[in-house]
């Protein structure tokens, strides 16, 4: 087992001498830690690692009974940094800072809150970018195939090592919701409550198709090189395109139209009119010639927004991790082994809250509702809430007093 380091205290930096940018209710400056297991880990695929690392953060304190812990499970592009800031100069806090903190819906004055980067990730946990000790080079595509079940099995080893005897709750949106459900099935007595947001028991063909387009954008980039690219290199163009396409599925038409409409970044392009420079095109041999770059670069604001999303993503995410994690999401299927959702939920002992969002067309309300109904048919304690928000799949990440109230009430 890993070294017995004391992880039960919060990873919040001491207040003394720290100039924190945090508003009241924020956890302040936080320090990520690494959990290193030296025990062999066998994946669902049968492949084995001699050990693994999970990078994580905690907020609050574990009580003497070891049962006030709340596990935050992150989505595809998330990581362990869900609240606070790493430095006073950080432009943004953790990705769920609006939900986690003193007095917030997930109250760190009450709960010991934990979040870890999943295996297969690229923010410090073992993944394709990690060095293979057998070769001294990054694993690349030789890293074991990862499933959602592998993710929660690794997290259970980590939680046991931290002294967590029982989870008060596990909370996750999208892929995080998949992890929460899998956790409840694998260890029925370990988690009192589950909160599953904007998730699904198995993806639709359309969702798988979107993921495949993103993977092909990565793999068709010449710089991918079969997954064997140097640190800092790789298929940056392909990964940016994959992120741009995926990000569209996280939004809604109403939200995009409200934010961007047909506004442009150049006055010349307003109304769709082309300048004289743009129109000086001719046809030679069936091909357009004389196409001025300005004609192609006429930008709508939504285009600039998507390009920004792509550019920022490639600076923090590994392309091979993108391939691995999207495949893990695609292969998640609670009905496959047992034949029905009711049978899959038979071991479940956790009380579960499932929340769908009306404008989510990636994992639409019907798929979330199906989870709650199957739990009820299986005789489990479950409830379903559907929030009328027009922000799309990402609604669970954004400001919502109604969502905060649901989470706070269910945890309490």
Q: List active site positions.
A: 174, 360, 393
H/E stretch holding 248 reads helix 236-250
Q: Which of 184, 190, 207 is nearest to 341 (CA)?
A: 184
Neighbours of 116 (CB within 10 A): 31
d(CA 178, CA 201): 7
In terms of Cβ atoms closer than 10 Å to its own Cβ (0-12, 13-18, 19+), residue 14 is exposed
Strand ordering across the sheet containing 167-173 = 33-37, 52-59, 112-116, 69-73, 167-173, 191-197, 351-357, 382-387
In terms of Cβ atoms closer than 10 Å to its own Cβ (0-12, 13-18, 19+), residue 355 is buried
Q: Which of 319, 260, 332 is nearest to 77 (CA)?
A: 319
Q: Which of 76, 179, 172 is nearest to 123 (CA)?
A: 76
Q: Which of 191, 154, 194 is nearest to 178 (CA)?
A: 194
d(CA 245, CA 390): 19
Query: Is there a contact between 60 and 109 (Cβ–Cβ < 8 Å)?
Result: yes
d(CA 356, CA 57): 27
d(CA 35, CA 150): 16
In terms of Cβ atoms closer than 10 Å to its own Cβ (0-12, 13-18, 19+), residue 174 is buried
Pairing of strands 287-289, 282-284: antiparallel
Q: Which of 192, 216, 202, 186 is nearest to 367 (CA)?
A: 202
DSSP structure class, residue 113: E
């Amino acid at each position: 087992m890993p070294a017995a380091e004391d992880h039960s205290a919060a990873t919040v930096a001491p207040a003394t001498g720290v100039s924190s940018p945090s508003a009241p209710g924020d956890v302040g400056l936080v320090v990520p830690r690494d959990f290193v297991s030296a025990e062999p880990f066998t994946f669902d695929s049968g492949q084995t690692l001699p050990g693994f690392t999970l990078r994580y953060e905690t907020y609050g304190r574990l009580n003497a009974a070891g049962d006030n812990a709340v596990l935050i499970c992150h989505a595809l592009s998330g990581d362990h940094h869900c609240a606070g800031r790493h430095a006073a100069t950080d432009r943004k806090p953790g990705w769920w800072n609006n939900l986690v903190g003193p007095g917030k819906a997930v109250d760190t004055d009450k709960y010991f809150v934990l979040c870890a980067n999943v295996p297969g990730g690229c923010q410090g946990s073992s993944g394709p970018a990690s060095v293979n000790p057998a070769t001294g080079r990054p694993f690349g595509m030789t890293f074991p195939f990862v499933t959602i079940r592998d993710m929660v099995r690794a997290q259970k080893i980590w939680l046991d090592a931290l002294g967590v005897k029982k989870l008060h709750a596990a909370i996750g949106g999208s892929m995080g919701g998949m992890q929460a459900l899998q956790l409840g099935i694998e260890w029925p007595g370990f988690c009192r409550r589950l909160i599953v947001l904007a998730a699904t028991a198995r993806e639709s063909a359309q969702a798988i198709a979107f993921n495949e387009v993103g993977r092909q954008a990565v793999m068709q980039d010449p710089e991918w090189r079969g997954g064997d690219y140097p640190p800092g290199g790789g298929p940056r163009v392909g990964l940016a395109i994959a992120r741009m396409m995926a990000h569209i599925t996280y939004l809604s038409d109403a939200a995009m139209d409200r934010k961007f409409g047909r506004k442009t970044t150049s006055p010349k392009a307003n109304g769709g009119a082309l300048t004289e420079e743009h129109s000086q095109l001719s046809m030679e041999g069936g091909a357009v010639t004389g196409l001025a770059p300005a004609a192609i670069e006429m930008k709508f604001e939504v285009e600039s927004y998507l390009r920004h999303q792509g550019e920022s993503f490639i600076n923090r995410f590994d392309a091979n991790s993108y391939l691995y994690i999207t495949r893990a999401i695609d292969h998640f299927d609670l009905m496959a082994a047992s034949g029905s959702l009711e049978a899959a939920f038979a071991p479940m002992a956790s009380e579960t809250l499932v929340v769908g969002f009306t404008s989510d067309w990636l994992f639409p309300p019907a798929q979330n509702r199906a989870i709650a109904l199957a739990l009820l048919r299986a005789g489990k304690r479950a409830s379903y809430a559907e929030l009328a928000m027009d922000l799309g799949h990402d609604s669970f990440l954004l400001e919502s007093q109604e969502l905060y109230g649901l989470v706070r009430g269910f945890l309490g």
